């Protein structure tokens, strides 16, 4: 099932959210190197994202007042591109308020164990691939 109607039916297709890793129990933030990590105790300015969902349920993600997210050549998520260069993710609801992101490479976004860096390298879903989206004003 694609992204649930809660996110699709709101007034716009753009949602301002904090993204929290179920596995790390931390918010996703952009590190100094531009890569995404699940290490933020609370979503600060580098942890507030805009998710743009098109009519097909594909989502582009950008840092609020910043660049869009894409996959680099090693399939890590990095915030360094414009709208045209952004990766389009499939967003699936897995549980009550929990979602997974599937990248165009066919893999799910997961949190890496050693440094909590986000990468689209998981073949299936599990605790490391689940995220919660908390809408913010």
| Distance, CA of 133 to CA of 135 (rounded, Å) | 6
pTM over 0.85: yes
Buried b (16+ CB within 10 A) or exposed e, 27-50: bbbbbeebbbbbbbeebeebbbbb
For residue 104, what are the contacts with CB-CB under 8 A and spacing of at least 6?
71, 87, 88, 89
Distance CA(30)–CA(8), nearest Å, equals 25
- Tell me which DSSP letter residue 44 carries: -
DSSP 35: B
Domain boundaries, the chain: 3-135
Tens place of pLDDT per residue across the chain (137 aa)? 344 444 444 445 789 999 999 999 999 999 999 999 999 876 566 789 999 988 787 999 999 989 999 999 999 999 999 999 999 999 999 887 899 999 999 999 999 999 999 999 999 999 999 999 999 98
CATH of 3-135, one of 3.40.190.10, 2.80.10.50, 3.40.50.300, 2.20.70.10: 2.80.10.50
């Amino acid at each position: 099932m694609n992204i649930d109607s809660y996110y699709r039916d709101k007034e716009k297709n753009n949602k301002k959210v904090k993204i929290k890793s179920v596995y790390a129990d931390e918010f996703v933030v952009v590190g100094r190197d531009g890569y995404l990590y699940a290490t933020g105790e609370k979503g600060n300015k580098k942890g507030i994202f805009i998710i743009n969902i098109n009519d097909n349920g594909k989502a582009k993600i950008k840092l609020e007042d910043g660049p869009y997210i894409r996959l680099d050549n090693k399939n890590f998520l990095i915030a360094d591109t414009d709208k045209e260069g952004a990766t389009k993710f499939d967003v699936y609801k897995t549980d009550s308020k929990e979602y997974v992101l599937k990248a165009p490479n066919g893999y799910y976004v997961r949190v890496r164990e050693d440094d909590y860096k986000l990468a689209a390298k998981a073949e299936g879903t599990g605790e490391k691939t689940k995220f919660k989206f908390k809408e913010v004003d």
